A and B are shown apart, each in its own frame.
Chain A
Amino acid sequence: MKKLKSKNRLLIKRIILSLVIIVVVIVSLFPIYWLMLTSIQPKTELMTSPPNFVSKAPTAKNWQFAFSNTLPYFFNSLVIATVATLAAIVLGAMSGYAFARYKVGGNALLFWILSLKFFPPVVAIVPYFLMMQALHIIDTRTAVIIPHLIITVPFAVWMIKGFIQEVPRELEESAMIDGATQLGVIRMITLPLIAPGLVVTALFCFIWSWNDFMFALILTRNHAITIPVAIAGMREAHGLMWGEVSATSALGTFPIIILAVILQKYLVRGLSLGSIK
Chain B
Amino acid sequence: MTKKGVILFLVLPTVVILAAIVIFPMIYSIVVSFMNYDLRIPKHSFAGFNNFTGILKDSMFYSSAIVTGIMLFVELVVELLLGLFIAMILVEIPFSRKIYQPILLIPMMVMPVVVGYVGRLIFAVRSGPINYFLNMIGVNSLLWHASPHLALVTIMILRIWRWTPFVMATLLAGILSLPIEPYESVKVDGANKWQTFIYITLPMLKPIITLVVIMRALEIMQAFDIIYVLTMGGPGISSMPLSLFTYLKGFRYWNIGQAAAAAWLIMIPLSILVTFFVKLMEKGEEIEEQK
Contact = CB atoms under 8 A, between A and B. Distances in A.
A153 B132 contact: no
Contact of A29 (B7, B103, B170, B274): B103
A205 to B, nearest CB: 14
B278 A17 contact: no
B14 A231 contact: no
A131 B247 CA distance: 17
A157 to B, nearest CB: 6
Contacts, number: 283
Contacts of A130: 28, 32, 37, 256
Interface residues of A, number: 99
A113 B18 contact: yes
A85 interface: no
A271 B170 contact: yes
Interface stretch (A65-73, A194-202, A246-254): A246-254
B124 interface: yes
Contacts of A191: none
B165 to A, nearest CB: 7
A31 B118 contact: yes
Contact of A182 (B1, B22, B256): B1
B170 A21 contact: no
A218 interface: yes
B114 A47 contact: no
Given A107-B285, A268-B173, A153 B114 contact: no
Given A51-B128, A104-B11, A126-B32, A214 B111 contact: no
Per DSSP, chain B at the interface is helix
B222 A121 contact: yes
A272 interface: yes
B93 A127 contact: no
B200 to A, nearest CB: 19
Interface string B121-162: 110101111001000000000000000000000000000010
Q: Which of B9, B18, B28, B113 has the most CB of A within 10 A?
A: B113
22 contacts: A18-B96, A20-B89, A25-B100, A28-B107, A31-B118, A31-B119, A50-B127, A98-B6, A115-B275, A119-B22, A120-B222, A121-B222, A122-B263, A125-B251, A129-B250, A131-B28, A149-B21, A213-B113, A260-B108, A272-B173, A272-B215, A275-B280
* Chain A to chain B: the 3 pairs with minimum beta-carbon distance, closest first: A127-B25, A95-B14, A98-B10
